[in-house]
Amino acid sequence: VVPRVVKKNMIGFLIQSGLFLGRKSQISTCSRVRGRGCTVDNIEDVSDEELDSLLQQANGPTGDKYQLSTSQSDPIATALRAVCGCKEVKGFELMDSRWNGNEAIRADTDRGNYFVKINRVEDASVFMSEAVGLTTIRKTETVYCPMPLHVGSLPKVGEFGPGAFLILEWLPLVPFGASRPEAQEDLGHSLAMMHLSSAMDEIHEGKFGFVINNYLSLTPMDNRWTDDWSEFLARRIGVLLQSLFEPKVYARAPFKKDESSELINLTQKLMESLKDRFVDVHVKPSLLHGDLWIGNAGFIKDKAVVYDPACFFGHAEMDLAIMELFGGFTDKFYNAYHSRIPKAEGFEERSKIYKVYHYLNQLNLFGNEQVKVEVIKLLRELVES
């Protein structure tokens, strides 16, 4: 029998490690539980039976689940043969498993390796939107990214599913390659070229948005076309603010409005000021990666590569804000980038606005109280300036 204090400590560890996503006295389970999480007012008042239930839910669905196979009936092996022209699928190797349920797989075939992403519970639309983003980046012929080859569905097995998979070109990534000086410099030049590219002008026609709605990590993005950048940005920020107080399918406990009045008021004031802040700023729609932190960049041989995009047409400076926010990019990158696109007047102040946007998304994903403190501090600086 596991003592009660051990159960409580286990739940506390899960909260700290992100396997339980909640805040203060609220507990809710991680994304793979998909809405099964429960909320409690005080962990001290939770019965042993409820503690057992919480721990069981943290493990996610139980029982059988889809397993990759080289058999003729396997959907991934079938796609490799039918779409990629492979005669033999030799095997699969798990390379990485992420908090959001995504697994990175290497497929070994007679035609070489392929990169496969799978998620046993997500709809195929998530990977489809990623494939559209990658294809759009490739059409600019600037920064390199893997070629998407096929999006398919995985069957429901037991409590898991249905899910989805994405087959991509295999890239022989150099370990920690994105941190190399030559990778940083190349990415600086190629990202600036993508932001300057006119290859997609006939697609966006001077508007802000994208051809489909997509996802910033697990957060759904509203990409409806808009003529005015400040209006598009205000809408995006407004949706992120509102969703903080709504239940999520990935089960982060909603914030309470009565505990977030300052965050709400400051964000609304920022949104109301955006039109004036951008009145003298010329913003041309640029293709953005949308989620370019250091973990979504890499290096192969002699060039930088990017992946896992959340593409849309927006202000080029917005890509730089998330890069600065999460770190990992050096002067090699920034000097190369700004040699092609110099900083415009007001760059630093606008960067703060774009960081608010990404902080709000982090709050939606993880509910971290320290992030809430940071975004309120940034909002105060902006509203009081």
What residues are labeled active site? 291
DSSP string, 58-93: HT-S-S-------STT-HHHHHHHHTT--S-EEEEE
Q: Per residue in 105-119, is it b (16+ CB within 10 Å) or e — as a string?
A: bebbbeeeebbbbbb
Please name the residues in contact with 86: beta carbons below 8 A apart, sequence gap of 6 or more: 80, 109, 110, 111
Q: Which residues make beta-bridge pairs with 89? A: 109
Helices (H) then strands (E): counts for the chain:
12, 11
| DSSP class of 108 | E
Amino acid sitting at position 83: V
* Nearest one of 237, 251, 248 to 352, comparing CA atoms: 237
End-to-end CA distance of the chain: 58
Q: Evaluate whether 4 touches 10 at the Cβ level (below 8 Å).
A: no
Q: Is the peptide bond before 309 cis (omega within 30 degrees of 0)?
A: no
